[in-house]
Amino acid sequence: MFFTKFIVPGAFLITGALAGPLALRDNDSHDRICPNLKVEGGGCIRYTKGFDVTGVVTEVDLTFPQIQNECDCIQACLDRPETCATYVYKFSTPASVKSGHRTCTLYSQFNLPANVTIQYDLNNGNNKNINAQEIINNNNNPQAGAPVPQAFKDANGTVPDDDAVSGPVWQLANGKVQC
């Protein structure tokens, strides 16, 4: 009687308490995107819509028709496991706005916080895969932090693009990938 009255209900209570946070994470308001990607959890749940959380150190720009949607963009990052840590799928140029096709830009870091600035020694021989010439051409050195910029649908930056997507791709030491 003691077993069925106290032990069994207690076991269900503990099981429910431990499973609750996992169930909440899977059922929160942040839907998984790109469920066909070969990543842990069957799709990405770590992303931001309408903003560009990416950084600048390395940059790979991809366009339509190679990239047709956010899943192609994330896959392009997955295809570059040694240099890509963040992606953004948005209208990044006046040409992309005019064409109606978002671009995909891949980076090796996130947006820096507002009170952080980094100056790179672009001539240092220890640099590897940083696209030094592109950093110079785009006047991205030093890199100053700022609030995460909003994505827009127009070249004037007046119409928010709530369908733009950006986020991380983490290559874990155990060989798995999360996004």
Query: Which residues have C-beta within 8 Å of that of residue 62, sequence separation ≥ 6?
Result: 73, 76, 103, 104, 105, 106
Instruction: Report, as an integer, the average pLDDT of 76-86.
Output: 95
- Position 111 in a domain: yes
- Position 41 in a domain: no
Predicted confidence at residue 25, as pLDDT, reads 45
- Position 61 in a domain: yes
Q: Residue 7 pLDDT > 70, yes or no? A: no
Q: Residue 132: which pLDDT band, with cuts at 50, 70 and 90?
A: confident
- Position 4 in a domain: yes
d(CA 54, CA 5): 54
Query: 15 is in which domain, residue-wise?
Result: 1-29
- Position 79 in a domain: yes
- Position 121 in a domain: yes
**Number of domains, the chain:** 2
Q: Do 52 and 135 sit in the same domain of this protein?
A: yes
On average, the pLDDT of the chain sits at 85
- Position 162 in a domain: yes
Predicted confidence at residue 36, as pLDDT, reads 95
* pTM exceeds 0.85, yes or no: no
Predicted confidence at residue 26, as pLDDT, reads 52
Predicted confidence at residue 1, as pLDDT, reads 52
